[in-house]
A and B are shown apart, each in its own frame.
Chain A
Amino acid sequence: MIYAACYRMLGRADAAEDATQETFLRLWRNAGRWRPRGARFETWLYRVAMNHCLDLLRKAKREAPEEAVPGGIEARMDGADRQDEEYFQAERRAAIDAALGQLPPRQRLALTLCHYQELSNIEAAEIMEISVDALESLLARGRRTLKKKLAPLREHLIGQMDDERPNQINGAP
Chain B
Amino acid sequence: MSDQTRLMARLERLRRVAQSFGGDPVRWPAADRDELAALFASDESADIRAEAQALDNLLNEASAPQMEASLEQRVAAGFAAPPAPRSIAAWFDEIAGRFGLHGARLVPAGAIAGLGAVGLASGVFSASMQASVTPESEALAYAEASVMLASLDEEEGASWDAD
Chain A contact residues, CB within 8 Å of chain B: 1-4, 7-8, 11, 13, 16-17, 20-21, 24-37, 39, 41-42, 44-45, 47-48, 51-52, 89, 92-93, 96-97, 100, 111, 114-116, 118, 120-122, 132, 136-137, 139-140, 143-144, 146-147, 150, 153-154, 157-158, 161, 169-170, 172
Contact = CB atoms under 8 A, between A and B. Distances in A.
Interface of B: 16, 19-23, 26-27, 29-30, 40-41, 46, 49-51, 53-59, 61-63, 65-68, 71, 74-75, 78-79, 82, 116, 120, 123-126, 143-144, 146-148, 150-151, 154, 156-163
Contact of A96 (B59, B74, B157, B161): B59
A87 to B, nearest CB: 14
Contacts of A170: 23, 40-41, 49, 53
Nearest to B77: A21
Contact of B22 (A42, A45, A143, A158): A143
A3 B78 contact: no
In the complex, the 9 A-B pairs of residues with the closest C-beta atoms, listed nearest first: A7-B65, A35-B158, A139-B20, A31-B146, A47-B162, A4-B65, A140-B20, A32-B150, A33-B161
Contacts, number: 166
B53 A35 contact: no
B78 A21 contact: yes
Main secondary structure, interface of A, reads helix
Nearest to B25: A170
A47 B40 contact: no
Most buried by B among A122, A140, A146: A140
Contacts of A32: 146, 150
Contact of B159 (A20, A29, A37): A37
B126 to A, nearest CB: 8
